[in-house]
Amino acid sequence: MKKYIILFFTLILFSNCQKNSIDDLHAQNQSVADSNKVIEPLDFYPEINKMVTRILSRYHYKKIDLNDSLSSVIFDNYIEALDYNKSYFLKSDLDEFEKYRFEFDEDLYLGKLMPAYRIFNVYKTRMNERIDYVLKNLDKEPDFTIDETIKVDREKEPWANSVEELNEIWRKKLKNEALNLKLSGKEWDKTKETLVKRYKNYHKAILQYKSEDVLQLYLNSFADAVDPHSNYLAPRTSENFNIRMKLSLEGIGATLRTDNDFTKVVNIVPGGPAFKADNIHEEDLITGVGQGNEEIVDVIGWRIDDVVDLIRGDKGTTVRLTILRADKGIDSKPDTISIVRDKVKLEEQAAQKKIITIRENDTDFKIGVIEIPSFYVDFEARRNGETDYRSTTRDVRKIIAELEEEKVDGVIVDLRNNGGGALDEAVELTGLFIEDGPVVQVRQSNGDIAVEKDPDPSIAYKGPLAVVINRYSASASEIFSGAIQDYGRGVILGEQSYGKGTVQNLIDLARFVPSAGDQSGQLKLTIAKYYRINGSSTQNLGVIPDVAFPSAVDPNEYGESSIPSALKWDQIQTSQFKKYGDLSSIFPSLIAKHQERILKEPEFNYLMQDIEEYKENKNKTEFSLNENIRKKERDESEEKRKLRDEERKKFETIEIIDKKEVTKKTLKEEDPFLEESGHVLVDLLLSQS
């Protein structure tokens, strides 16, 4: 189980208004009371537990045997979900919990929740103890001249044997956080103030854990042991999920995930507020969130759902973020940016086009690029019988017609970071590039196989075609790119895709647990599996590109294949289909030219250097807590970036816009992968001429 998959806790934020002394005393007394409060399951939770267990056991695609072996996995999932970095529990706690390891299977069938709640209450106690330790040990500035190191990632480390051993772990943790702040330019007084606020806010979050949070965490430890896409959604989480599915979320338009104690930007939604502001980018780390002109709240160490709640807000309001730039490191001084919230509208996530020029053999080739952020359809408009409803296929059909009017020499379909969407749209979009035939096979849990076919025998575009994917391309993106590859219709470029080849159904538990009513939540259940027309599943394996680009993403660390409980790859019979062509004989030449080209390109050299540096840092297990050593490492990194920027300036061009000099970036600088995709497509075009 990965660190960023799991926790769904509720956080209620308190304002920073001044309180009088009576209020302060009351709040302090209430805080102590809440700290000592034992969380217990509500009366109807056993019924929810039994129903979730029954449905997962009987109707999940993978026929599971809820036995001692799976119970052990659930136990490990639950402990890891609470304390993945082994920073709170003691070894004696784990020794005490071991009696439950082979009992969770029976507990789930019987709706017996107390063991899970007992473990959680010990966890809550240990967290309160850690907060107390932190607040008592920030009086004196650490000595940053001592040569000692810290292991930031403790996932594979042993549990602490004693409180004293755990205190030493936390002494170094606090020292590391203080050193990061000092290297970013903060004096000790400000550093101390920041850390005190950080952990007091964190403590408030602990005090707001509710019984439904524990139930969700426990049931998801079970669901995640079965497969990563089946989840129990407590009422609050269910509401957030439904908001996201309606595409009406008012926020900044970014996909986030937890990376150790930081919130990392995974993807910027095209057309959204963050995309328009252009002041936050993929891989940046969010360290603080503020509303309008209010004080920014430090969110290091927060749960991802709680950070999202802070960032979300009404349309037209402003959110301020402090961010650490991806290319500068965690020791750098954070930037503060502002983004005006807005609805991430369907039109702004729609397919977009542009034309790029690729020069090869002293000839300019016009290449049309179709960017598809998601596979969307306006279901409501279609249900209402509106003839002009928006969909991916309809929009792309129009774009193709426009590109052909521009007499482009070839087309690139850009599916990078496209996490999927409507299955029908993936099927119909494929149909724009082939005459007819099957596109994807869907196998139900009972073994029945349905073949989804291209519904339109016409072809919208017959010319040279390339499809670009990356590790974040999933589901419907894999159906489309896999079909294009199987038909020999075009060349697939980029990275191995995510590998999500499963189908989920959302079940409202209210009708099964009437005693819980609207407090029963929902269950997202895996019910089917996708297979390519050649019989190969996209599950776990994804789509392998014909021409692979350099990548910093290790498939063993991100994607379906990195998750132990993910359904495995398998194969069924091939569908009956007629290949459009066979490009396999051309691929060796395309690969050789691609590799020769990127070795000469400065941007790809920089990229490959970054990848090697990333891999080195990723494998680094210990970090110095000596200020001079860390400062030297940071300065060397900054000097490297400075030299690179100076080298880049040699290739920059200056334009005069409104009587001002404006630096114009080349496509090579802005998106070297897209430009290289254009070169590969031109190579394909020339090989077929």
The kind and range of the H/E element at 186 are none
CB atoms within 10 A of CB 361: 7
Strand, coil or helix: 354:
strand
Buried b (16+ CB within 10 A) or exposed e, 28-50: eeeeeebbeeeeebeebbbbbbb
Q: In 292-375, which ranges are continuous DSSP H helix? A: 304-311
Task: Please identify which of the residues 93, 306, 342, 486 carries the catalytic annotation.
Answer: 486
Helix (H) or strand (E) holding 528: strand 522-531
Total Cβ atoms within 10 A of residue 151: 15
Among residues 71, 473, 475, 537, which one is catalytic? 475
User: To which H or E segment does residue 262 belong?
Assistant: strand 262-268
Percent of residues in the chain assigned helix, strand, coil, to nearest 5: 45, 20, 40
Known active-site residue 486: yes
| Dihedral (CA of 274, 279, 284, 290) sign | negative
Question: Is 190 considered catalytic here?
Answer: no
**Are the C-beta atoms of 503 and 444 separated by less than 8 Å?**
no
Other CB atoms within a 10 A radius of the CB of residue 566 amount to: 19
Q: Coil, strand or helix: which one is 578? A: coil
CA separation for the pair 514, 525 (Å, rounded):
20
CA distances from 212 to 39, 52, 649 (A): 10, 14, 55
Residue 151's φ and ψ, nearest 5 degrees, are -100, 105
Question: Is the separation of the CB atoms in 432 and 393 below 8 Å?
Answer: yes
Q: At what angle do helices 672-688 and 602-619 cross, to 10 degrees?
A: 120
Question: Does residue 591 come out as left (phi exceeding 0), alpha (psi in the -120 to 50 range) or beta?
Answer: alpha
How big is the CA angle at 346 (ends 504 and 494), to the nearest 5 degrees?
Answer: 65
What length is written for the chain?
A: 689
Measured between alpha carbons, how far is 209 from 367 in angstroms, rounded to an integer? Answer: 54
For this structure, is 175 an active site residue?
no
Q: Which two tokens stand for residue 405?
A: 């009017």
Q: Are 240 and 85 in contact (CB under 8 A)?
A: no
Give the tokens for residue 69. Answer: 């072996």
583 sits in the region (left: phi over 0; alpha: psi -120 to 50; else beta) called alpha
- Rounded to 5 degrees, what are φ and ψ at 390? -85, 140
Burial of 339 (0-12, 13-18, 19+ CB in 10 A): buried
What DSSP string runs through 104-157? HHHHHHHT--HHHHHHHHHHHHHHHHHHHHHHHS-SS---TTS--EE-S--TTS
DSSP 562: G
Q: Which of 175, 500, 529, 593 is catalytic?
A: 500
Q: Which tokens sit at 392? A: 């991916």
Catalytic annotation, residues = 475, 486, 500
